Amino acid sequence: MHQSLSLLERYVHSHSHRSRDIVIETGSDAGKPDYLLIPALTRVRRKQKGIRALVIASSIDRVKAVGDARARFEAMSGDSVRVAALDSGDATRKEADVLGGSPGIVIATGSRIIDHLRRENIDLSAVHSVIVDEPERDNAGAFNLDLQFILSKIAHRPYIATFTPHLHEELDTVLSLLRRPRVVEQEAWQRPRPVRSRTRKEPRMSTQDKKNLPSEEQIQERIEEILRLIHEEADPEELNFLRKMVRKHVPFFSRGYFAAYLLRNSSAKGPRKASTQKDGDFKSVFIGVGKNRRVFPRDLIQLFGTVDSVSAEDIGEIKILDNYSFAEVTSSKADQVIAKLDGTEYRGRKLSVNYARRRD
């Protein structure tokens, strides 16, 4: 049987006996979806009672295609496990009769399974394996909601094998439902299995290299500092644009390493110094505009730059709150900034600029 399978089907067959959940990227050209039936047939035995496996397909056409594959596998293995494909459209009564015969494997769309659950036509108490036919990203939202609902109706946590044309961010929902999932990219099952060498080993980090790394406390401090900057100073529109670029150009399962690399370079520079100026060199200025007017530090630097002889070097720490902000300005130029900007119109309102009051 193994020799008559495609490359992807062989890979699926080889891993179907394992208990660890798996996610496999099939690619758009992976051929017929026969591979969806392999984990179910591998894990279900004829004498077992009740529905033991669900194949949740992304469309009714996929249900029909997977259902047609059962004849092919039965001819190969002689296995007579009952397989029910719910592909009859609105013929709910007919499908209910099929489900009443306790098939070992049920193939259906998520919405169809939910419909039979609400009509109490299907019993999921014996299900121990769920095979998921994840659609492309644009159609994954509603599909994953149905999947979450179906899994919530299964008393015992099942083995889950997920197949997706491409790895995409909507898979985060599915990954949260899996148990220590193994994620297999398309290239992994397409290339021949490498010959293992007994002598060559991956180089390990030396003790000296480990000593050069920042401590966990330093890394935690830097992460907290970055998160603070995100919440207090970053422009959400700019971050959303950059996040789209990361999603577009960084492979899904390389994003963790991508973030780690950026953090490493950020940590190497050390935490940002709050202020290196001596007392008296700077004065704190109150500006009556904040986050609610979509103001960010660079906006205030540009605003202060409209004042003659004031440059970025004359501006110290900036703190932006919801309705107002504070900025440190060189003492010798603070009066000039206040005189120039107080009462001017900025983003549709008159701006209030004055010395910040000290708390009593």
Angle at alpha carbon of residue 86, lines to 146 and 33, rounded to 5°: 80
309 vs 327: CA distance, rounded Å: 17
52 vs 40: CA distance, rounded Å: 8
Q: In what order do the strands lie in the sheet with 159-164?
A: 83-85, 105-109, 53-57, 129-133, 159-164, 22-25, 182-184
107 vs 83: CA distance, rounded Å: 8
292: DSSP letter: G
In this prediction, residue 114 carries a pLDDT of 95
In this prediction, residue 87 carries a pLDDT of 85
Please state at what angle helix 297-304 crosses helix 331-341, rounded to 10 degrees.
Answer: 90
Please state at what angle helix 92-100 crosses helix 110-118, rounded to 10 degrees.
Answer: 80
3: DSSP letter: G
Q: 283: which 2 tokens?
A: 């004065």
72 vs 9: CA distance, rounded Å: 13
347 vs 360: CA distance, rounded Å: 32
274 vs 317: CA distance, rounded Å: 7
Structural domain boundaries in the chain: 2-190, 210-259, 282-355
297 vs 327: CA distance, rounded Å: 9
128 vs 162: CA distance, rounded Å: 14
CA quadruple 296, 299, 300, 306: dihedral, nearest 10:
180
Inter-CA distances, 189 with 5, 12, 69, 196, Å: 13, 9, 21, 16
One fold for both 2-190 and 282-355? no
Residue 72, strand partner residues? none
Look at the domain 282-355 and name its fold.
Answer: Alpha-Beta Plaits (3.30.70)
**HSE-CB for 316 with a 13 A CA cutoff:** 21
Inter-CA distances, 352 with 44, 56, 323, Å: 73, 61, 11
Which residue, chain included where needed, has tokens 């492979």?
251
Angle at alpha carbon of residue 25, lines to 22 and 28, rounded to 5°: 150
| Strand (E) or helix (H) holding 38 | helix 37-43
In this prediction, residue 275 carries a pLDDT of 40
Angle at alpha carbon of residue 98, lines to 92 and 102, rounded to 5°: 130
Q: φ and ψ at 345, to 5 degrees?
A: -85, 130
Which residue, chain included where needed, has tokens 């095979």?
131
- Predicted TM-score (pTM) of the model is 0.58
Provide the residue-wise pLDDT of the chain in tens; the chain has 360 residues.
555 788 898 899 888 888 899 999 998 766 789 999 999 988 888 778 899 999 999 999 999 999 888 888 876 655 578 899 998 766 778 899 989 888 999 999 999 999 999 999 999 999 999 999 999 988 999 999 999 999 999 988 999 999 999 888 888 888 888 888 899 988 888 875 554 544 444 455 556 556 667 788 888 888 888 887 777 667 777 888 888 888 777 766 577 778 888 887 776 544 444 444 444 588 899 999 888 888 888 888 888 888 888 887 888 888 888 888 999 998 888 899 999 999 998 887 889 999 987 654
**What does CATH list as the number for 2-190?**
3.40.50.300
